[in-house]
Homo-oligomer: A and B are copies of this chain.
Amino acid sequence: MKHLSTLSATALLSLSLAGGAIAADLKPEEQIETRQAGYQFMSWNMGKIKASLSGDYNQETVQKAAEAIAGIANSGMGALYGPGTDKDVNGVKTRVKPELFTEQAEVGKVAGDFVAAANNMAEVAATGDEAEVKQAFGALGESCKACHKQFRKDD
- Listed in ascending order, the chain A residues whose CB lies under 8 Å from chain B are 14, 17-22, 25-26, 33-34, 36-38, 40-41, 44-45, 47-48, 51, 55, 58, 60-61, 64-65, 67-72, 74-76, 80
Q: Please tell me if the beta carbons of A61 and B44 are within 8 angstroms of each other in the complex.
A: no
For the complex of A and B, list the 7 residue pairs with the smallest distance between their C-beta atoms, beginning with the closest: A71-B71, A37-B37, A68-B75, A68-B71, A37-B40, A37-B41, A67-B71
A58 → chain B, closest Cβ, in Å? 7
A73 nearest in chain B by CB position: B68
A60 to B80, CA, bound (A): 17
Main secondary structure of the interface of A (DSSP, over half): helix
Q: Please tell me if the beta carbons of B72 and A51 are within 8 angstroms of each other in the complex.
A: no
A51 to B70, CA, bound (A): 23
User: Which residues on B sit within 8 Å (CB–CB) of A22?
Assistant: 44, 47-48, 51, 61
User: Which residues on B sit within 8 Å (CB–CB) of A36?
Assistant: 37
Q: Please tell me if the beta carbons of A68 and B64 are within 8 angstroms of each other in the complex.
A: no
User: Which residues on B sit within 8 Å (CB–CB) of A61?
Assistant: 17-20, 22, 76
A17 to B64, CA, bound (A): 11
User: Which residues on B sit within 8 Å (CB–CB) of A38?
Assistant: 37, 41
Q: Please tell me if the beta carbons of A41 and B51 are within 8 angstroms of each other in the complex.
A: no
A45 to B34, CA, bound (A): 10
